[in-house]
Amino acid sequence: MNRKNAWAALVAVLALTGFAQMPIMKRYHIADLPGLGWLADYSATSAVHYAAAALFLLLAGWTVTVWLAGPRRATPGLYLRAGVYLAVIVTGLMHVAHNTVWGALPPVAAQTVVLAHLGGIMALFVLTMARLALRRRIRRD
């Protein structure tokens, strides 16, 4: 598996388990589908999400290292995506810190971190769809 496929697989797992931590899988009967019952279990999805996030951080570090070691081709879009990824990583780490013994955030701050994390995920989705649409348009022309 190459780095692009590993990145896509990890993002897919993170998206699935991240959304599964909200009570939507049971509510909309997604967890009733064969083999997806674990998505209704917060502890299971949280553990998988944290494990995938750790792998994601390793892959992100490797990607940055490879990019810095090779010929650098930076575009404004790359900087935008990297900034949004960094925001998602920082808010995710803040959320982990809040959920562990490192210390609890005040309720408003905790909600702000969660919403910023979700907003970053939505921004990444929009950026990815726009990037794919532009690639498709360029290939077609």
Lowest-confidence segment of 18-22, 64-68, 101-105 by average pLDDT: 101-105
- For residues 124 and 59, membership in a common domain is answered with no
The pLDDT of 16-33, averaged and rounded, is 91
Q: Find the angle CA(71)-CA(77)-CA(91) to the nearest 5 degrees.
A: 105
In angstroms, how far is CA 52 from the centroid of its own chain? 9
> What does the pLDDT read at residue 120?
96
Residue ending a domain, among 48, 72, 96, is 72
Residue ending a domain, among 72, 100, 125, is 72
- For residues 23 and 81, membership in a common domain is answered with no
Quick: pLDDT tens for 40-54: 999 999 999 999 999
Alpha carbon distance 112, 105 (integer Å): 10
Would you say residue 59 has pLDDT above 80? yes
- For residues 49 and 11, membership in a common domain is answered with yes
- For residues 2 and 66, membership in a common domain is answered with yes
103: left (phi over 0), alpha (psi -120 to 50) or beta: left
- For residues 68 and 111, membership in a common domain is answered with no
- For residues 53 and 105, membership in a common domain is answered with no
Domain count, the chain: 2
- For residues 16 and 37, membership in a common domain is answered with yes
Q: How confident is residue 141, by pLDDT bands cut at 50, 70 and 90?
A: low
- For residues 8 and 26, membership in a common domain is answered with yes
Q: Find the angle CA(116)-CA(54)-CA(25) to the nearest 5 degrees.
A: 60
Domain range for residue 138? 74-141
Residue ending a domain, among 57, 72, 87, is 72
Q: How confident is residue 135, by pLDDT bands cut at 50, 70 and 90?
A: confident
